[in-house]
Amino acid sequence: MKDPRVRALLDVIAYAEGADYATMVKGEGSVPITDFARHPNVLVTLSKSLKSTAAGRYQFLYSTWQGLKMPDFSPISQDKAAVKLLKRRRMLKPLFAGDVEQAIRNGNREWASLPGSPYGQPTHQMAEMLQVYSKSLAKWSRR
């Protein structure tokens, strides 16, 4: 997780999802997260036909979070859990091979806001995601 490329890809996901560590999906019933002992598991109404338990910097659904078996919902646990999902979605191999576009595409079934996601929610353009990645990579590479 210390690799600047991984940190930059995590920043891309957080940017695309429009979230930070204390963000609950925005909708009816949404409140800022103040207790990081566990995933908040609040069912938020986004529309008549869409409800979600998404929470945190990477907008983890409660069911996904449960499967990741993290000790708490702290920022460190959120980052580690997101890296588990990067691995599960086969995003790291193309990332390390320099194919950032493919890495992002591989994650679009996990994160509905990434380009090419099949879920029918608004997505970001690949060019925008690559710009966010480049800027973030420069930041993390200086550290």
Positions annotated as catalytic residues are 17
The Cα–Cα gap between 30 and 12 comes to 23
State both tokens at 31.
Answer: 């409140």
Distances in Å between the Cα of 99 and the Cα atoms of 27, 58, 92, 94, 114 are 35, 21, 10, 5, 16
- Could you write out the DSSP letters of every residue in 111-129? -TTSTT-TTSS----HHHH
H/E element holding 51?
strand 50-52
Task: Quote the longest CA-to-CA distance of the chain.
Answer: 46
